[in-house]
Chains A and B, each alone.
Chain A
């Protein structure tokens, strides 16, 4: 009976980086692979494919989520933002500037996920401590920087946002 239920390939309609998206997707394909292989949006990376490392982090309905723990099929009716879209729209500009100024990235492989996670944090507008910043980004593995410069960068953006009134 199960063989007749559902589809192994289906149509989805979603919003991707602010634009309408209409595609057929394979049921088995996770969102990160869909973005990378079907749409050539390779800025979202794979580091483990089981949700631990954070390299695949994207935004779904405005909140960070693991691209590898979401099926492409699940995004139908939702909005997805990736590193490419958030760069183009300028939403990450402050963070990117502060990251680059402090060399808060080296190989760059974790950076897409790290920036999106940092974006969710700074967007909240809350003033938070270094320890809280560390907690918030502790689901994004970085093997190159040792995290110190990343914390500095996020702290700087939070401080500048507070100065400018958000």
Chain B
């Protein structure tokens, strides 16, 4: 379908962008990679009056690593998560996740900030941000603030973003010795949205799990920590022989719903299987 009519503006600074978004209210939306927004507009799912193109704003770019923190600009493209040596080395979970995001054409344009703002519950990056304990840096005409990823995703496609607020950058803890990261998902075809997925960050002593931060995607309404499963796996040795240690905990943390072609109980079963597989792969990947 062809998108409905709208106006377009390309501000030359972040400050100008924030001002335009504030003036426009709910009728003005930011356009970054456009991979989600424009698909929705082409299907006439929404009707914004003004698109504010922030895709070339320098203030939203950049990758730095300083004092154990990796700061990525909101316009970091998914392709960069795959290709950047800095990210591969210091935030490898993002590199692992990026391989699952869509396809090369989508990854060349889609952005980190866009994925977090859109908050698709089947997307990888919101879950990674939560599992990693990332912090989002937000900006509007009112000022700047920081929100922890685990507080950012509030509901189905809903986030803490105030109207006219933009994600400027995301800060990730750089991976430390003794930590292992894992991500796996079940999807029907390469690049499809996950039916069930899990992003995991765990401290390991030899083969024993210490603390774990887990965030499921695909079978949830939003990215959030899975505290019951994290508690259930603490102290366990890998490889896990079965799922009995955490099967119950999964039911506490996940309350999926039936969707067309996939029932809630199937999602729970898949999540349980996936959890064991992700943990059993961690021990091979802990940094020394």
Contacts and interface: CB of A to CB of B under 8 A. Distances in A.
Nearest to B35: A69
Interface stretch (B46-54, B136-144, B206-214, B275-283): B46-54
A89 interface: no
Interface in A52-92: 54, 57, 60, 63-66, 68-71, 73-74, 76-77
Chain A contact residues, majority secondary structure: mixed
A68 B55 CA distance: 17
B158 interface: no
Contact of A139 (B5, B55, B79, B104): B104
Contacts of A54: 103, 105
Contact of A50 (B10, B27, B43): B43
Contacts of B157: none
B39 A50 contact: yes
Interface stretch (B17-25, B85-93, B125-133, B262-270): B17-25
A163 interface: no
Contact of B190 (A2, A28, A30, A135): A135
B64 to A, nearest CB: 23
Contacts, number: 121
B42 A49 contact: yes
Given A27-B51, A51-B39, A70 B9 contact: no
A38 interface: no
Contact of B50 (A6, A49, A74, A77): A6
Interface in B1-39: 1-10, 20, 23-25, 27-28, 31, 34-35, 38-39
Interface in A1-50: 1-3, 5-8, 10, 27-28, 30, 33, 49-50
Nearest to A26: B5
B109 A70 contact: yes
B104 A66 contact: no
Nearest to A61: B108
A140 B28 CA distance: 32
Given A2-B24, A28-B2, A73 B53 contact: yes
B109 A65 contact: yes
A103 interface: no
A117 interface: yes
A138 interface: yes
Contact of B23 (A2, A64, A70, A73): A2
Contacts of B108: 60, 63-65
Given A2-B7, A71-B8, A138-B189, A64 B38 contact: no
Contacts of A1: 23-25
A64 B7 contact: no
Contacts of A64: 104-105, 108
Pick from A10, A30, A54, A74 the residue with the most CB of B within 10 Å: A74
A77 B57 CA distance: 13
B256 interface: no
B3 A30 contact: yes
Interface in A108-124: 117, 120
Given A69-B38, A136-B104, A138-B103, A2 B27 contact: yes
A103 B231 CA distance: 56
Contacts of A65: 105, 108-109
A50 B25 contact: no
Given A1-B24, A27-B6, A66-B109, 19 more contacts: A1-B23, A2-B28, A5-B20, A7-B8, A27-B8, A28-B5, A51-B39, A51-B105, A68-B42, A69-B35, A69-B38, A69-B39, A71-B34, A73-B10, A74-B34, A74-B53, A136-B104, A138-B189, A139-B105
13 contacts: A1-B24, A2-B28, A6-B7, A8-B6, A8-B8, A33-B2, A49-B1, A51-B39, A63-B79, A69-B39, A71-B53, A139-B102, A140-B103
Interface of B: 1-10, 20, 23-25, 27-28, 31, 34-35, 38-39, 42-43, 49-53, 55-56, 79, 102-106, 108-109, 189-191
